[in-house]
């Protein structure tokens, strides 16, 4: 296969990097999609147990929602204070995402335990968590979240963009 330079089409050379990244993501996603889902681990835990542990761990790490009433009192949203307006709107946006994450994790844990029916969305949620990916409903592209390309792993969860952003926003709210 002949490789054509992106400059031939008037594109920047970095367009080639983006194309290669998208191709490799597509290949890896396809490989993960055919991965067997029923194998048990050496420890004796099933995949369902591991998924539930991961969901419970993530739920324990999700920051608490912001107190919007206190925020509205402390930072008056008017025409002359546009940063206050942005701060309050971002806090509302994060609260929507945090509520969605907690509800989704609760639903996934209940479905995993057999208390509710495991629908297609919850199954996709479990597959994404098993593959160390952020579930689509938590991203800006397909849900209520914000855009992040960081993986959803135990090692990197503390540096996950959501947690870091919420900590930064809480610091800003406290310090002014």
User: Is residue 80 classed as helix, strand or coil in its secondary structure?
Assistant: coil
Give the whole-angstrom CA distance, residue 96 versus residue 113: 26
* Residue indicated by tokens 């952020």: 134
Contact 47, 38 (CB under 8 A): yes
Looking at residue 158, what is its pLDDT? 46
Looking at residue 47, what is its pLDDT? 78
pTM listed for this prediction? 0.71
* Residue indicated by tokens 């761990």: 57
Looking at residue 133, what is its pLDDT? 79
Domain boundaries defined on the chain? 1-33, 47-175
pLDDT along the chain (176 residues), means of 10: 70 80 83 69 72 87 87 80 83 87 92 91 86 79 65 50 75 78
Select from 96, 90, 101, 91 the least CA-distant residue to 152.
101
Phi, psi dihedral angles at 78 (to 5 degrees): -140, 180
Q: Count Cβ atoms below 10 Å from residue 132 Cβ, excluding itself.
A: 14
Handedness of CA 103, 126, 61, 71 (dihedral sign): negative
Contact 116, 107 (CB under 8 A): yes
CA 126 distance to own-chain centroid: 13
Select from 107, 98, 109, 101 the least CA-distant residue to 50.
109
């Amino acid at each position: 296969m002949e490789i054509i330079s992106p400059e031939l089409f008037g594109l920047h050379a970095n367009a080639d990097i983006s194309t290669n990244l998208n191709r490799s993501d597509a290949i890896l996603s396809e490989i993960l999609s055919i991965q067997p889902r029923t194998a048990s681990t050496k420890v004796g835990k099933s995949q369902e147990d591991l998924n539930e542990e991961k969901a419970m761990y993530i739920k324990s790490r999700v920051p608490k929602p912001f107190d919007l009433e206190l925020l509205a009192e402390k930072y008056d949203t008017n025409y002359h204070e546009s940063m206050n307006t942005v701060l309050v709107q971002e806090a509302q946006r994060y609260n929507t995402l945090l509520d969605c994450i907690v509800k989704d994790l609760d639903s996934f844990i209940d479905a995993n335990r057999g208390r509710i029916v495991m629908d297609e969305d919850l199954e996709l949620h479990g597959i994404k968590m098993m593959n160390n990916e952020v579930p689509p409903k938590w991203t800006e592209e397909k849900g209520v979240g914000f855009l992040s390309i960081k993986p959803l792993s135990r090692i990197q969860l503390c540096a996950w963009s959501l947690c870091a952003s919420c900590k930064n926003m809480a610091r800003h709210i406290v310090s002014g």
